[in-house]
Amino acid sequence: KNQVEQSPQSLIILEGKNCTLQCNYTVSPFSNLRWYKQDTGRGPVSLTIMTFSENTKSNGRYTATLDADTKQSSLHITASQLSDSASYICVVSANGGFKTIFGAGTRLFVKA
Amino acid sequence: DGGITQSPKYLFRKEGQNVTLSCEQNLNHDAMYWYRQDPGQGLRLIYYSQIVNDFQKGDIAEGYSVSREKKESFPLTVTSAQKNPTAFYLCASSIDPPSGQSYNEQFFGPGTRLTVL
């Protein structure tokens, strides 16, 4: 069964600290993996997208890694800011993009 | 929000009523999608359309209907047959339909929160 599991469910960190969010998937055949940021009451916005051959991709303070062998991805946020408070959603596409599976998200709270 | 608009932002409906959610995009994208988001769950696909005048059921299509008469527009109707319609609804579009390409990035609208009273 194609699944995407994210951990932790929620996370509270102090402003300026780093954090890492995890995504494990059982999607096959793998096409690509994306990380989205979703502010409360808004639509998701793409942060990174990686294919099978890419194992790291950065977007400013966000760095995503992908281990296609273990089917794991992580999103590392450096020097967190209050505006990083949001849900982070891991999305995996399979079968050439015909099937897209969304994780439930990790809710990040950054405190001053 | 990437050139995709959804309206209204908040919508209230009485039980037994049909209601239509609007989704418009000016990105010249061929494919459009409707998702439902519930607390603690990943987005679930309701319907998608790869081209004008064509659409396909997603994973949870029961109680919903769509049309795609124009490339820019993909309205979703929540019918009275949908047993639990209270949710956050997201519309998305992508430049191409899924076609075996590695990248098929979807751009999302701001969402409509539907509450059934």
Rounded mean pLDDT, A10-29:
95
Residues 6+ apart with CB under 8 A from A59: A47, A48
For chain B, give percent helix, strand, coil, nearest 5. Answer: 0, 50, 50
Å between B45 CA and nearest CA of chain A: 9
pLDDT for A96 equals 66
Whole-Å CA distances, A64 to A18, A50, A51: 13, 8, 12
Residue of A49, A89, A98 with shortest CB distance to B103: A49
Rounded mean pLDDT, B35-44:
92
% residues pLDDT > 90 (chain B): 74
Between positions 88 and 107 of A, the ones with CB within 8 A of B are 89, 93, 95-98, 100-105
> What is the tens place of the pLDDT at every residue in B67-79?
999 999 999 999 9
Put simply, whether A29 touches B (Cβ < 8 Å) is no
The candidate with the shortest Cα–Cα distance to A110, out of A81, A69, A77, is: A81
Rounded mean pLDDT, B43-48:
94
pLDDT for A28 equals 84
Q: State the best of A100, A101, A106 to mutate against chain B, taking most chain B CBs within 10 Å.
A: A100
- State the pLDDT confidence band at B81, using cuts at 50, 70 and 90: confident
Q: Which residue of A has its CA nearest to B43?
A: A102
Put simply, whether A8 touches B (Cβ < 8 Å) is no
> What is the tens place of the pLDDT at every residue in A23-50?
999 988 888 899 999 999 999 999 999 9
pLDDT for A70 equals 94
- pLDDT score of B96 more than 90: no
% residues pLDDT > 70 (chain B): 91
- State the pLDDT confidence band at A97, using cuts at 50, 70 and 90: low
Q: How far apart are CA B57 and CA B46, in angstroms?
A: 6
pLDDT for B102 equals 45
Rounded mean pLDDT, B6-31:
93
Contact A98 B101 (CB under 8 A): no
**Interface size, chain A vs chain B, as Cβ–Cβ contacts under 8 Å:** 66
Put simply, whether B103 touches A (Cβ < 8 Å) is yes
Å between A112 CA and nearest CA of chain B: 26
Tell me the three state secondary structure of residue A96.
Answer: helix
Q: State the best of B102, B107, B108, B114 to mutate against chain A, taking most chain A CBs within 10 Å.
A: B102
